[in-house]
Amino acid sequence: MKLLTLLIAGAALPLTSAAPASTAIVKDASADRDASVAATLAQSSKDIYPAKCPENVNGFNYTYPSTLWFYNLTSTVQGSSEVLEMAFMDLLPPNYNPRNAEPQTILLLHGKNFCGPTWYAAATPLQKAGYRVILPEQLGFCKSTKPTQYSFNLTSLATNTHNLVKALGITKPPIVIGHSLGGMLASRYALTYPEFTKSLMLVSPIGLEDWKQLGVPDRSFDLLTGDEKSTTYASLRGYEQATYYPGAEWTEDFDKWVVMLTKVYEGDQKEKFWADQAHVVEMVLGQPTIHEYNKIKPKTLLVVGEKDNTAIGKVWSPPEVQAKLGHYAVLGRQAQAAIPDATLVSFPYLGHAPQIQEPEMFNRLLASWVKTGGRTLESLKLNATIIR
């Protein structure tokens, strides 16, 4: 194992207030050009179509920065009596022509408290660099259907994502990148479709420990739904301040995503959303992926912030259990050792959302990974520990 620590003077200091950013996302002028090309591609599948009411759809009234599309996966879910639509954005590279060689596709998978737009600042540089970037939203989240009878499990969500990729006519294995719950899902995708995953990047993934095995007690579905129902802007901000950005001054760049998420919790399908999110918590508690990390085949990059303390169920666990959970400085190293071909980049000063807390640094790291598979990480001069 190779251990390398790179430091930049002053880089470990907590973030200071940044210039205020608008909470609204300005629609990229290239989005409509992308949409016209994507519309041509969509003709090959009746199950791909643009959203008719993209601002307020499936209980989420929020304007997206690029054209919103739906993948109708109803026919792939056996016995479904509901129409199931998976929302996504599809960013095509400049001068894209479907008759030319297929570009490399990158999948960006969101976390539980995130939606597709939270990846947009990372997605657009990749698009400009020549990649096709797809930002799917899982069932029960954001602008996707809020089902009432769906059985939530990681394998089915991975399958839905894979079926979307195939429906779009993509034949080259994508680079799969996931954050938080999206990281847990990305690992399940790689385990389920190892031959259709070019490489894997797990950003602050949850599931690096088995919470139930460590003593997190069971919690009834009614209580879990009540937890979701009681979620407010204030509770979300307090949680994210302590977990996503510990030690950092709160900024508009952080706040806009809390405002966005609050709109789902208060939307016109909020009861469905609360129930779906309760099922999601049941799913992650009962389906840990850490025990299968030794089976992950694609080359993998783990990115963690050592101030991250995310642990599902920690809040309702007894103190002696709480003390054992969410130590990412240790969990990242354990996960890197478990995955056969993995590199860890561990930041001592970051929390659960490095792509939001330090977007410029993260985008340099991301560009290095997708272009060279991590061969140039050392040259980035990161304030991080790198373990190969």
Kindly tell me if the per-residue pLDDT of 26 is higher than 90: no
Of 42-56, 114-128, 140-154, 158-172, minimum mean pLDDT range = 42-56
Kindly tell me if the per-residue pLDDT of 24 is higher than 50: no
**Contact assessment for residue 114 and residue 62, using Cβ atoms and an 8 Å cutoff:** no
Provide the token pair at 54.
């993209």
From residue 223, give the alpha-carbon distance in Å to each of 152, 276, 318. 18, 13, 17
Per-residue confidence at 7, pLDDT binned at 50, 70, 90? Answer: very low
Q: Average of pLDDT values for 12-25?
A: 33
User: Crossing angle for the helix pair 181-192 and 154-167, nearest 10 degrees?
Assistant: 70
Kindly tell me if the per-residue pLDDT of 19 is higher than 80: no
**Contact assessment for residue 186 and residue 303, using Cβ atoms and an 8 Å cutoff:** no
| pLDDT, tens digit, 9 for 90 and up, residues 34-92 | 555 665 555 557 899 999 888 999 999 999 999 999 999 999 998 888 999 999 999 99
Per-residue confidence at 142, pLDDT binned at 50, 70, 90? Answer: very high
Per-residue b or e along 334-347, where b marks 16 or more CB atoms closer than 10 Å to that residue's CB: ebbebbeebbbbbb
Q: What is the CATH number of domain 31-370?
A: 3.40.50.1820
In the numeric block, the tokens 């950003």 are attached to: 203
| pLDDT above 90 coverage of the chain, percent | 83
